[in-house]
């Protein structure tokens, strides 16, 4: 099982797999990736191994602050899947 996948819905996992299959991820440096939106390739998010600049990732902390939960999003899972496939 990939890191974090047990915390995500099946729909989010499918979405993340689709990003990888459609080559929507580019490695910028060792810990920074660009994930292009499949619906609008001119838009993208910058993702590290632990964070994403998408609104969903930011909102997770906004609404779950102090609960001890680790934020996640499909873009972060895309990067983890991408890394596993390209080892």
Q: What is the pTM of this model?
A: 0.78
The total of structural domains in the chain comes to 1
Both tokens of residue 58? 């930011």
Cα 74–Cα 5–Cα 48 angle in degrees, nearest 5: 50
Q: Contact 24/33 with Cβ under 8 angstroms?
A: no
**How sure is the predictor about 45, in pLDDT bands with cuts at 50, 70 and 90?**
very high
Question: What average pLDDT does the segment 45-72 reach?
Answer: 87
Residue 37 structural domain: 5-85
Q: Is the pLDDT of residue 52 over 90?
A: yes
């Amino acid at each position: 099982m990939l890191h974090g996948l047990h915390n995500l819905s099946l729909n989010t996992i499918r979405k993340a797999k689709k990003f990888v299959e459609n080559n929507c991820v580019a490695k910028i440096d060792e810990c920074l990736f660009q994930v292009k939106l499949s619906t609008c390739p001119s838009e993208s998010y910058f993702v590290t191994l632990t964070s994403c600049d998408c609104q969903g990732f930011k909102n997770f902390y906004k609404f779950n602050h102090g609960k001890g939960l680790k934020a996640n999003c499909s873009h972060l899972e895309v990067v983890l899947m991408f890394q596993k496939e390209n080892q």
